[in-house]
Chains A and B, each alone.
Chain A
Amino acid sequence: MNIIKNVNKAVDLILQQKPLVIFQGSSEWGPRALGNRSILFDPRNKNAKDIVNKFKQREWWRPLAASVLLEHAHDWFDLATLKESPYMTFAVGAKKKAIKHTPSIVHVDNSCRIQTVTLDQNKNYYNLINVFYKKTNVPLLLNTSFNLAGYPIAESIEDITNLDIPFKDVYIPQ
């Protein structure tokens, strides 16, 4: 297991097209991974859905979600009358920009389940996405729960070391 504490190094791994686990604080209170127990991937990679579904042992046709900086969310997605989607409870419409630049998080019907992220809601996660944005002009990351298909979300750091999980790079913000 490779523990990363520096946000720039964490983003560099994503840019190298590696899955990155973000692990911080207690696990999420609801069923969705919202940046405390998430696996992240570069959403620009057109093969990302296949890659992530394969190592998570999910069916190839299942969609993957995204976390987007709130201030950019309306540029990339059609949220209709929603101001935000902080708990990933809506699959909104993907705009042309998202369809063109981040195909891996856009489902076949041009929808995407999104989490909008602000600095107040999750400082470390916001900063990570923001560094990715500064390097790529893309203000979002592919976000899937930190587990394998059929298993619950991993609770403790021991789960990572005790189980045979193919995610070796773990970002633990300081």
Chain B
Amino acid sequence: MNYLGINVSHEASVAYFKNKQLVNVWYEDRYNYKKHWEPTVKDSFYFSILKNIHFKPDFVCYGSYDKRNSEWYGKDNDESVIAEIQEQLGNPSYYFTGSEHHVYHVLCGKYFSPFNEAMAIVIDAGGAQTHKPGYQEMQSIYYVNNNFVKKLWCHYSCRSFLELDGTWKHGYAPVVVKNINGTECEFSALSVGANEFNRVGFQLGFRGGKDAGKVMGLAAYADSKNKYDLDYSKVTRAKELQEETFDQTCKLIEKAHKYRNLNNFILSGGYFLNCTNNFKYVKKYPHLNFFVDPIAWDGGISIGAHLYYHEYNKKC
């Protein structure tokens, strides 16, 4: 059986599974040469599929950061974009739900990890609006083993939408905690993790989250005492950001450890491209075993979507 997993958001990717074996992963931007490309209805053709997929797939699982809401995303909402890609593939059977972005990150990390069971922490700039429109999942804690995955805690924030439009109709929201189907859920307007990198990245004159690596690189100069020809106010802000998000993540690691007392940790989501802080967790928690998802950015969603459907029976 030939299966595909396809990410239809940024870092658009195609994962090809033959039966249970991952054969290859292709990034569309390496074919169309538009970095971080994501498909729209008008521009949805995957050259990576044209070049590499010479058969009609038996089944396709789609993943996204959740653009289901056509009120916000207009004609480029997920279902419309997927319809275009389905046509390119010859309309095979498929599965899509926009609400499981973070669990796809977890399962991608689990696939590559050496662990049979682990706690998983996902942090990114904003994923699915699972429970409340406008509130994206930004941080979450999962338990995962070889055939079972459970979301234990999640933080949803409306920050991205506040940033887009200061008059956003829901206004600033207080932190609200709810237990939804056994998951402790927090709803807030806080900017955290990769979302904060996005925000501060723009403030520093970069391209937001796309230049997060530059912010990290700059932060390292903070102790160089004006030795270099750099704007040290920016350097200091970059370092503060590294420290703030490190502290936020440490709180999640400690919270996760309390849930199940497991020492194996999988870290996934775009924030964990932060190699500098990744090593600081290793140093701070020598009794824990950390594995960072090698495809922590949204490119890994194509793998996770396939695994969720075929190996975890769509249960979280």
| Assembled-state Cα–Cα distance A88/B220 (Å) | 18
Whether B282 and A150, one on each chain, are in contact in the complex, defined by CB atoms closer than 8 angstroms, is no
* Interface bracket on A: 20 to 34
Whether A111 and B29, one on each chain, are in contact in the complex, defined by CB atoms closer than 8 angstroms, is no
Whether B30 and A153, one on each chain, are in contact in the complex, defined by CB atoms closer than 8 angstroms, is yes
A residues 86-145 in Cβ contact with B at 8 Å:
87-93, 107-109, 111, 113
If A62-B217, A108-B221, A111-B220 touch, whether A29 touches B294 (CB-CB below 8 Å) is: yes
Residues of A within 8 A of B33 (CB): 151-152, 159
Residues of B within 8 A of A159 (CB): 33
If A31-B299, A89-B272, A109-B220 touch, whether A62 touches B214 (CB-CB below 8 Å) is: yes
* Interface bracket on B: 35 or more
User: Chain A: interface secondary structure?
Assistant: loop
If A31-B299, A108-B220 touch, whether A152 touches B275 (CB-CB below 8 Å) is: no
- Mask for B35-46, Cβ within 8 A of A = 1, else 0? 100000000000
At the interface, yes or no: A63 with Cβ under 8 Å from chain B?
yes
Residues of A within 8 A of B86 (CB): none
Closest A residue, CB atoms, query B284: A80
Number of inter-chain CB pairs below 8 Å: 95
Residues of B within 8 A of A109 (CB): 220-221, 223
Closest 10 CB pairs of A and B: A87-B294, A89-B292, A155-B30, A109-B220, A91-B275, A152-B29, A30-B294, A29-B25, A90-B279, A30-B295
Additional pairs, 5, CB under 8 Å, beyond known A89-B272, A108-B228, A109-B220: A29-B25, A32-B294, A62-B214, A153-B30, A155-B31
Q: Can you give 30 contacting A-B residue pairs, CB < 8 Å?
A: A27-B26, A29-B24, A29-B295, A30-B294, A30-B295, A31-B295, A31-B299, A32-B294, A59-B214, A61-B218, A62-B213, A62-B214, A63-B217, A63-B220, A80-B279, A81-B282, A82-B279, A89-B275, A89-B293, A90-B275, A91-B276, A108-B224, A113-B275, A151-B33, A151-B35, A152-B35, A153-B27, A153-B30, A154-B30, A155-B30
